[in-house]
Amino acid sequence: MRNSRNSIDTVKLPYPAWAEVDLDRLHHNVDVIHSAAKVPLLPVIKANAYGHGANVLASQLVRRKEVTGLCVWTMQEAEALRREGIKGRIVALGGVLPQEAKLAVELCVEPVVGSVAQARAMAGVASKRKPAAVHLKVDTGMARLGTDRQDAFDTMAKISRMESLSLAGMMTHFAFAGVKKKAVREQVESFEDLLEAIRGAGYQIPACHAANTAGIFLHPESRFQLVRPGIGLYGIQEFSGPDVGLKPVLSLKARVSWIRDVSKGQTVSYGGIWKSPGKRRVAVVSLGYADGYSRLLSSRVHGIINGEKTKQIGVICMDVSMFDITRTSAGEGDYITLIGSEGAHSIGALDLAQVMGTISYEVLCGIGNRVRRIYHRSGKVDRKLLMRVF
């Protein structure tokens, strides 16, 4: 195993594939986001923190004074955090099923509701001794979840009369946050008009939240009293405009498990879509589409090994992918960087997403559980976290 190119002692890691998660960069991104938002944060760590490991990132985020709670999607995600000892507010953005309401109350999880029926399910299992809190979601243009705007006033009024149930927040969600300012402005105005009507009727408005990462940086009017940063926490700027200073948190790496020589005209991998133009050294790398390295990338991307770019060749398989390493000094046991920076070269999740015709969210969320997460700060692997399985 020849290459030890980082301050992280990667050579000694006994894994075929792993994702390095830089906790210093996570905290840097929190600083950048809060500086722009100027209000408390409700970080979104659903879907295993977009593939970064929700348990570890939650434990980091709850230490920050800027963070007032965490957002997940399901009760299963919320329950997993509670089992890991995560205290404080947890908002379940996807709401809860009626049969999950009791668990939500027991775990002090704040579900999002979009109807009187959903609120009643929570109120029915809550009590004065064990009250429940919910967030009312209003649909202002997403046409997905939440109460219709024309029903929102009535829903708010009925929730306010439910004993043992408190309204912890009101929220909406943007359909075009990163691309259409006019559409966002219209949604904000629709939400504000509703809030004004509720306020005018004598009801007290709880903390409101709407802005995701793009909203925080592009739409100051959307910040309200709380914001819900998601992809920005992980260092990805999915919206256009000047670089706001976020740093990618995750790097994806895998071992060279086998090297073989191929001759001119020989094909590599399924279907023979790649034919060798001459004598070539081919590395078989221990990462495939089952691990999140999409088949859509086949023969269209590069990796970085020993500081050199190396082309991926042939169809990416379920468990492995192949690279032309003829011009490198790579050997078996060396690792290749598939997302991340090394020397003069860099490969971002956004780069892979563009090749796939998708967004960086899908690239990061797709990294499978066979890929070990390695957490580090100040260039050193956290050995305590290394002992845990994620």
Phi, psi of 388 (to 5 degrees): -95, 155
Q: Please check the confidence at residue 274 and state whether its pLDDT lies above 70.
A: yes
The model's pTM is: 0.95
Provide the pLDDT for residue 6. 47
Q: Please check the confidence at residue 37 and state whether its pLDDT lies above 50.
A: yes
Q: Comparing 79 with 180, which gets the higher pLDDT? A: 79
* DSSP annotation string for 318-350: SS-EEEE-TTS---TT-EEEEEEEETTEEE-HH
Q: Please check the confidence at residue 389 and state whether its pLDDT lies above 70.
A: no
Neighbours of 250 (CB within 10 A): 25
* Predicted confidence band of residue 8 (pLDDT cuts 50, 70, 90): low
Phi, psi of 386 (to 5 degrees): -65, -25
Phi, psi of 310 (to 5 degrees): -140, 130
Residue boundaries of the structural domains of the chain: 10-17+248-386, 69-225
Q: Please check the confidence at residue 388 and state whether its pLDDT lies above 60.
A: no
Say which CATH class 10-17+248-386 falls into. mainly beta
Q: Please check the confidence at residue 390 and state whether its pLDDT lies above 60.
A: no
Tens digits of residue pLDDT in 115-137? 999 999 999 999 988 999 999 99
Of 46, 137, 234, 335, which one is the catalytic site residue? 46
What value does the mean pLDDT of the chain take? Answer: 94
Provide the pLDDT for residue 247. 98
Provide the pLDDT for residue 11. 53
List C-alpha distances in Å: 56 to 53, 65, 202, 228: 6, 17, 43, 19
Provide the pLDDT for residue 9. 60
* Predicted confidence band of residue 365 (pLDDT cuts 50, 70, 90): very high
Tens digits of residue pLDDT in 241-272? 999 999 999 999 999 999 999 999 999 999 99
Q: Please check the confidence at residue 148 and state whether its pLDDT lies above 70.
A: yes
Tell me the C-alpha distance between 113 and 96, whole Å. Answer: 8
Place of tokens 């970064």: 52
Q: Comparing 181 with 279, which gets the higher pLDDT? A: 279
Strand pairing class (372-377; 17-22): parallel
Provide the pLDDT for residue 380. 87
Averaged pLDDT for residues 295-319: 97
Provide the pLDDT for residue 295. 98
Provide the pLDDT for residue 382. 85
Q: Please check the confidence at residue 383 and state whether its pLDDT lies above 90.
A: no
CA angle 254-258-260, nearest 5°? 135
Burial class (CB within 10 angstroms; exposed 0-12, middle 13-18, buried 19+) of 341 = middle
Q: Please check the confidence at residue 296 and state whether its pLDDT lies above 50.
A: yes
CATH topology of domain 69-225: TIM Barrel (3.20.20)
The verdict on whether 270 is a catalytic residue reads yes
> What tokens were used for 30?
């929190």
Of 38, 158, 181, 270, which one is the catalytic site residue? 270
Averaged pLDDT for residues 237-243: 94
Averaged pLDDT for residues 88-97: 97
Neighbours of 196 (CB within 10 A): 11
The closest of 271, 259, 380 to 329, measured between CA atoms, is 259
Tens digits of residue pLDDT in 157-179? 999 999 999 999 999 999 987 77
Percent of the chain with pLDDT over 90: 91
Q: Do residues 109 and 70 touch, judged by C-beta distance below 8 A?
A: no
Averaged pLDDT for residues 68-74: 98
